[in-house]
Amino acid sequence: MISVSVPGCVECKRFEERWEALRKDFPAVDYKNISALSPEGQELISHYGIMMSPGIIIDDELFGVGGINMETLTARLKELSSPQP
C-alpha cells in the first residue's frame, strides 16, 4: 500500500494516524508514504490521476483520495489478506 501525500496536508496526517492504529492488524501489508513533491510522487500522481491527497494505492490500483474511509480500507485489506480459493 502506498500513500501519496503532501507536507502540511490535514487529511494526509489524519490517514497516517489512523493507519498507525490499524497497522498491527495487518502485519503483512507493506506500507510506504511518498511525498507528492518527489519525482516518484509526481510519477504516481500522473500514472494514477491522483487529484487530491492523500492518494492511496493498493495492489497497483488507486483505492481512494482525500478523506479515506477507514472502514472501507479495513474491509479491502481483510479481503486481500484472506486466502484465495
Instruction: Specify the residue for cell string 472502514.
Output: 71
- Cβ(29)–Cβ(20) below 8 Å: no
| Residue partners of 73: CB distance under 8 A and separation at least 6 | 22, 56, 63, 64
Which domains does the chain possess?
2-74 (3.40.30.10)
At 29-62, the pLDDT tens digits run 999 999 999 999 999 999 999 999 999 999 999 9
* pLDDT tier for residue 84 given thresholds of 50, 70 and 90: low
Q: Give the pTM.
A: 0.90
